[in-house]
Structures are given as C-alpha cells and as structure tokens.
Amino acid sequence: MESWNDERLEKVVSMLLISGVSLAAVVVLLGGVCFLWQHGNDHPDYHVFHGVEQQYRSIRGVLEAARPSDCRGVIQLGLILLICTPIARVAFSMLGFLLERDRTYVVLTVIVLAILVYGLVGPH
C-alpha cells in the first residue's frame, strides 16, 4: 500500500470536494426545475424578510420535507449536501492525519470538526 503523505491526502480530499459539490448541484438543479414546473407563474417576494418556513430550517425537517411533491425541500436538501461537503473534507483530513500518525494535527482537526458540527446542529 502506498504510504500516506500530505500530497496524497490533498488529492483525495479534492476529489471528495468535487464529488460533493457536483452531487449537490445536481440535486439543487432537479429541485429547481421541479419547482419552476409547478410554481413558475407565482410571484416571488424577497423584499421583506419573513424567514423560510420552519421545516426548511433543520436537517431533520428537510429530510422529511424533501420529496417530489415538495420541490423547495429538494433544493434545500441539495444545499445541505453542499454545506456538508467541506465538513466531510475536514473529517476525511482527520483520518489522513491519523494514518500519518500526526497527533498534533489530529487534535487540531478534531477542534475544527467540533466547531463545524456545533455550527451545523448546535442549539441556535
């Protein structure tokens, strides 16, 4: 097996990022086409801030909402996939540093990962 080093780690991580962003873009596009198909003639209003509906504000809500009859939910699912992509990148880097037996960087990466998880699912 090829040994782990920073260069190889960066390549794998980059592939992960590209796959994540591509998948997210496809889901967002599908949801968007589906939304425009159903609501193309509605009039959007973003002049006044109301905040999106409650079901689109959490991962659990979006997972329940996303289905062909709720295209906004599908778009939001794609956006959440996108938000998770850099987080997956950090998680994977941690694995890489573990394989490199670099204890300092395992600790640093865990700190970054903890902040990201707090940002994503913490009590806001």
Give the binding site for another protein (CB under 8 A): 6-7, 9-11, 13-15, 17-18, 20-21, 24-25, 28-29, 31-32, 35-36, 39-44, 46-53, 56-58, 72-73, 75-76, 79-80, 82-87, 89-90, 93, 102, 104-105, 108-109, 111-112, 115-116, 118-122, 124
Q: How far is the CB of 69 from another protein (least distance, A)?
A: 15
Q: How far is the CB of 108 from another protein (least distance, A)?
A: 6
d(CA 107, CA 84): 21
**In 10 A of CB 105, how many CB atoms?**
16
Only one residue has tokens 């390549």, namely 11
d(CA 65, CA 71): 9
